[in-house]
Amino acid sequence: MIADDDGLRRYVASVRERVDLALERTLPTAPSCPARLAEAMRYSLFAGGKRFRPVLALAAADATARRLGLGAEEASRAVDAALPAACAIEMIHTYSLIHDDLPAMDDDDLRRGRPTLHVAYGEGLAILAGDGLLTEAFLLLAREPRGDDPDLARRKLAVLEAVADAAGVAGMAGGQAIDLEATGAGASRAAGGFDEARLRHMHACKTGALLRASAVSGAIMAGGTAAIIDAIGAYASEIGIAFQIVDDILDVEGSARELGKTAGKDAAAGKLTYPALFGVARSREFAAGSISRAQAGILAAGLADGYLPAIATWVVSRSG
Whether 135 and 82 have beta carbons less than 8 Å apart is answered as: no
Amino acid identity, position 285: E
The pTM for the full model equals 0.90
Provide the CATH topology of domain 5-317: Farnesyl Diphosphate Synthase (1.10.600)
Of 28, 98, 13, the residue nearest 58 (C-alpha):
13
pLDDT for the residue numbered 253: 79
- Beta carbons of 232 and 239 less than 8 angstroms apart: no
- Candidate from 84-98, 238-252, 289-303 with smallest mean pLDDT: 238-252
Which pLDDT value is given to residue 318? 83
- Nearest Cα to Cα of residue 224 among 72, 65, 86: 65
CA distance 59 to 294: 15
Question: So what's the pLDDT on residue 189?
Answer: 44
Q: Say whether pLDDT at 261 is over 80.
A: no
pLDDT in the model for residue 185: 46
pLDDT band, very low/low/confident/very high, at 266 (cuts 50, 70, 90)? low
pLDDT at 263: 52
Q: Where are the domains of the chain?
A: 5-317
With 50 as the cut, is the pLDDT of residue 254 above it?
A: yes
